[in-house]
Structure 1
Amino acid sequence: MRAMQRRFAVISILIGSLALLAPGVFATELAPGAPQTYTVRPGDTLWDIAGRFLRDPWRWSEVWRANPGVENPNLIYPGDVLELTMVAGRPVIGRADGRGGPRLVRLSPQVRAEAISAPVPTIRIGSIAPFLTQPYVADSDDLKRASYVVGFPDEHIVAGVNDAIYVRKIRTSDVTQFQVLRPGDALRDPDSGDLLGYEAAFVANAVLERTGDPAKLRVTRMEREVSIGDRVIAADAEQPLVDFLPRPAPEGTRGRILSVMNGVSQIGQYDVVIINRGARDRLEPGHVFEVFVGGQKERDQVRAGIADTDWLMESPFSSDFWLGRDYDFKGWRADEPSRDASFPLHPEYRRNKAEYVKPFERSGLLMVFRVFDRVSFGLILHTNRALQVGDWVAPPPA
């Protein structure tokens, strides 16, 4: 009985100790040299600020104390003073002055209004500006059936800013703002082979000048020159990308990188990629993934004999001389070319397929900033090696 009481007492002490330690054990880890206070400056991003305080910037939403009573309590502005405090052993970050919302507009004696400070964006908008509002992924081959550029009023081969273009079958002026897109490759799931959509490169913005078949449009902004055959669709209204917080992607949402924009072959920091997960997988702007390389089969050069060198055997009298080291001797074949042949039994060689699976290695971070039904656009925030199409993404550890 006394032994049982002692065991119960020990268990109670352990539980009590764990309860006392729990706040510190499970607290979000601070970055080395995290400041006690920080004044937000123009040019800062939420990701940069989060990295000053936290080792894992995507955990910002777990420590941010938003200001109640303002229109959007998550927005941060230049001039805000952020303060780090500890509550029950956990870091908490909030505005030291308790202010939130737009900055005060000051008027000079000449009644010249200064611009209201813009909120701090989550990530650097310049890296993804062309991708914010353009429908770069079509859910079907609708782009191929859309209106298209058929020619130019002048003797042009291509068109640029302020040039006019002729477009087939725009018969109404209900929409006046258009986007010019260039159809690209089909996006297929690398695991299932399912068609996820069609990639489309943004070419230009254009405004309607005259309806008809062909209609006349004028180019107002361009990323690349407009060519005959480019598709034309109605433009979406632009929306700012400042009102979401970085946070881990839903648990278990593993995916693959399908494509990289701007035609690069190796993916680096601030490149824009497409992944094979979207709204149906509960993805939202701000979700963060870790990127992993590995998982592919590699040749075991030792077992295959490629890594073993024996210069004495490299002669016309050795099988390696004729077949190479990719083949293993499996035995002798009888009765070839015929049972009555006087030629000796034939040797049988088969290709050596010794392989191993390359382990996964964490190699970067990706943040989703635009979501479609089955795919999403993400920005590579950090990488410690070159990434490639086909690399895996997974949520950060909880």
Structure 2
Amino acid sequence: MKRYALTLGVLAVLAVGTLSTANAARTHIIRYGDTLWDLSIQYYSTPFNWEDIMRANPSLEGVEYLRPGEELIIPDIYGETVQLSQASEYPSGVYTTSGSSSRPMLSRLVLETTGMVTDTPPQPSGYVIDTDLEEEDPFDDIHSYPGDLLAIDIGQSDGVQQDMVFRLCKTGGPVYHPETGADLGEVIRVSGVCRVVDVDPNSSVALLEHAYLPVTYGDFLLPYDAAEPVPVATAQTVENLDAYVIAFRDPQSERAYSFDVLYIDRGSLQGLQPGDIYAMFRYGDQVLSPDSRTLQEPDVPVAEMIVLDTTDDTAAMLVFSISTSDLIRIGDRIELVREQL
């Protein structure tokens, strides 16, 4: 496929997005040490909306390119007037929960990039065949990041049309149960979301609009489905449904921190639903009291996780609270503490 330059139509779409966002947004002058994560906490009381700030500032090359003194648009994500473009297929806004502020707040992009562990991988719609098309140097186009152009191997003959949206995915290594050693399948990680901007008979050019991982040659495409809000469970569970942590979304992670996504060995067939809450406990020891009685210390919850999505036998979860320096590892056992009615 020929190298592709942005058409006037695409530039117009981006310009409309910038103007419409600016009309209903605040601005922030970047200071030394600012990060999109911290700015999201400052303006939205949650770190999850850093991607919304990045998308509202198309001139920002990446999260590492915050230059002190420059101005950022802070979009009004709670209002219906803020849209990236009239043709956008994304639902606008943030998914929140009512009630206590200690409940997790889940952004759309968190829900749409959870990935899964499965023994029945989804059928790809197509594949990435070239990355960072605007770069001529072959050593500069190994990876693609938000704002870059991709070539994909499906086109008009496959039913592809301009403005169609796809999720980009990677296949990770096999996953084995930490206790039994059983083969649970493989990790499917979402590397990004792209929108088709130009279509040829047998291939297309897509704009990478969001990336969680670097997008590379061979990443496969799945149809984009907008995430639905996740209601947070409030009912205390009476069911004993322990689970084991079997993998992390981040392939480089050895332990999970707050706001990380992990996978467990329970799914919809065991009754799990999005919004169910698990906890990891520090189990109490038997101790001798000053009056020589043997007592059992209470079990203390040290981390909480919410189910984002399920397969038949596994689930993806977000860590939304952790209060221990002994972070979550693969093989840790967790307990269901709240579930949907």
Bucket of the pairwise TM-score, normalised by the shorter protein:
0.5 to 0.7
1:386 lines up with 2:327 in the alignment: yes
1:267 lines up with 2:256 in the alignment: yes
* Structure 2: distance between partners of 1:161 and 1:187: 29
Q: Shift in Å at residue 252 of structure 1? A: 1.9
* 1:275-290 equivalence runs, <5 A: 275-290=264-279
Q: Shift in Å at residue 179 of structure 1? A: 1.0
The residue number in structure 2 matching 1:58 is: none
1:124 lines up with 2:83 in the alignment: no
The residue number in structure 1 matching 2:130 is: 151
> Are residues 138 and 123 of structure 1, via their aligned partners in 2, closer, same or farther at CA, if it must alter by over 3 Å?
same
* Structure 1: distance between partners of 2:144 and 2:94: 37
Name the larger-Rg structure: 1
CA contact (8 A) 1:182 1:203 kept: yes
Letter in 2 for 1:253: L
CA contact (8 A) 1:177 1:206 kept: yes
Residue aligned with 1:280, SS: helix
CA contact (8 A) 1:292 1:391 kept: no
CA contact (8 A) 1:254 1:392 kept: yes
CA contact (8 A) 1:187 1:198 kept: yes
The residue number in structure 1 matching 2:173 is: 185
Residue aligned with 1:252, SS: coil
CA contact (8 A) 1:206 1:219 kept: yes
The residue number in structure 1 matching 2:187 is: 199
1:372 lines up with 2:304 in the alignment: no
The residue number in structure 2 matching 1:238 is: 227
* Structure 2: distance between partners of 1:234 and 1:293: 41
Q: Shift in Å at residue 166 of structure 1? A: 1.5
What is the RMSD computed on CA atoms of the aligned residues? 3.6
The residue number in structure 2 matching 1:227 is: 216
1:202-259 CA distance string (max 9 Å, x none) = 2221112315433322222223332111111111123233x33333456121110112
The residue number in structure 1 matching 2:32 is: none
Q: Shift in Å at residue 141 of structure 1? A: 5.4
What percent of counterpart residues are identical? 16
Residue aligned with 2:306, SS: strand
Q: Shift in Å at residue 276 of structure 1? A: 0.7
Letter in 2 for 1:136: G
The residue number in structure 1 matching 2:113 is: 134
* Structure 1: distance between partners of 2:240 and 2:212: 37
Gaps of 5+ in 2: 1-42, 47-92, 284-298
CA contact (8 A) 1:180 1:204 kept: yes
The residue number in structure 1 matching 2:159 is: 172
* Structure 2: distance between partners of 1:250 and 1:196: 27
The residue number in structure 2 matching 1:64 is: none
Letter in 1 for 2:144: A
Q: Shift in Å at residue 144 of structure 1? A: 7.8
> Are residues 135 and 236 of structure 1, via their aligned partners in 2, closer, same or farther at CA, if it must alter by over 3 Å?
farther
* Structure 2: distance between partners of 1:214 and 1:234: 16
CA contact (8 A) 1:138 1:197 kept: yes
Bigger mean CA offset, 260-269 vs 134-143? 134-143
Letter in 1 for 2:164: T
The residue number in structure 2 matching 1:255 is: 243
Letter in 1 for 2:130: G
Letter in 1 for 2:154: K
TM-score of the pair, normalised by structure 2 = 0.54
Q: Shift in Å at residue 287 of structure 1? A: 1.8
Residue aligned with 1:132, SS: helix
CA contact (8 A) 2:116 2:188 kept: yes
1:368-397 CA distance string (max 9 Å, x none) = 232222111223323333221101012349
Q: Shift in Å at residue 281 of structure 1? A: 0.7
Residue aligned with 2:146, SS: coil
* Structure 1: distance between partners of 2:211 and 2:329: 28
1:162 lines up with 2:150 in the alignment: no
Residue aligned with 1:244, SS: coil
* 1:43-62 equivalence runs, <5 A: none
CA contact (8 A) 1:290 1:363 kept: yes
